[in-house]
Amino acid sequence: MYEEYWNLREPPFENTPNPKFFFYSERHNEALSRLQYIVRERKACGVLTGVYGCGKTLILQALRKSTESEGCRYSVVNNPRLDDLGMLRFILRGLVGREVPADKADVLMAMQTYIENVALDGKHTVIAIDEAHAISSPDVFEELRLLLNFQTESRFLVTLLLVGQPELAPKVESNKQLNQRVNLHFHIDAFSEEDTARYIKHRLEISGDGNEEIFTPEAVDLLHRHSGGIPRWLNHFCHMSLLAGYTKNARRITPEIAEEAVQSVKGSV
């Protein structure tokens, strides 16, 4: 709606995990680099935590984009509220791309065959569980741990990535055998004020903005305070700010426009 008005090719603040918009804050960049190491070196398990809306899923998508071309084969579970058999079937379906058996033994045999064939082809299997903090059953964590038994004498044939909110960490730690397999625990914090300003500028540049000063520094400060540095809230507030500025024929997003946008979002949640 407002893209042409602000000289944009596309909406810059969509809350979708598009790797094109990945913002390399120092902490996000470090998280991505460490996960790339875990996958490329074919380690057993990595755990990534962070508060709601801080960009974990986007990091996972950026990781996938950067390593699939190198021969990694992914299965990503986005809704892990499943029992142990449901989890295994979902993972297998993500790997093979077709309907899978209903019997647990058949699922495990099919999964073993697929993973071993991937390895024989010189590639690597990655199983990523997003929103893993939502897993409620210890049996599911145990089943995921057992997938790490697919290995040779020299390396793991599967890398397991668990991504979720901070409450994921104690759930992993409660399964001592799984926790012993974890090669990486990494936590993402919210943006600093400087990161927030760079994030907004980055998103606008990717979207084709010809004017890097759409948001005044005072408006950016206000948006940072209201969002707490959480990218998801920043996206909501910036999107509504651009819409409000467009309807007012504003030349820049001022603190007054940003405040109005914030209140319109808060009033709808």
CATH number at residue 179: 3.40.50.300
Bridge partners (DSSP) listed for residue 215: 253
Contact 53, 231 (CB under 8 A): yes
What is the number of other CB atoms lying within 10 angstroms of the CB of residue 134?
16
The answer to whether residues 148 and 180 touch, using CB atoms and an 8 Å cutoff, is no
Is residue 76 located within the same domain as residue 152?
Answer: yes
Q: Is residue 89 part of a domain?
A: yes
- Same domain? For 61 and 107 the reply is yes
Tens of each residue's pLDDT in the chain, 269 residues = 799 999 999 999 999 888 888 888 889 999 999 999 999 999 999 999 999 889 999 999 999 999 999 999 999 999 999 999 999 999 999 999 999 999 999 999 999 999 999 999 999 999 999 999 999 999 999 999 999 999 998 899 999 999 999 999 999 999 999 999 999 999 999 999 999 999 999 999 999 855 568 999 999 999 999 999 999 999 999 999 999 999 999 999 999 999 999 999 987 53
Domain count, the chain: 2
**Residue 17 in contact with residue 58, Cβ under 8 Å?**
yes
> How far from chain centre, in Å, is Cα 180?
24
Domain contains 76: yes
Are 97 and 74 within 8 A, CB to CB?
Answer: no
Give the Cα separation of 262 and 258 in Å (integer): 6
Domain membership of residue 90 as a residue range: 26-188
Max CA separation in the chain (angstroms): 66
Reference 158, options 68, 74, 44; nearest CA is 44
Q: How far is CA 79 from the centre of its chain?
A: 13
Asked whether residue 202 falls in the same domain as residue 227, the answer is: yes
Structure tokens at 102: 């209903």
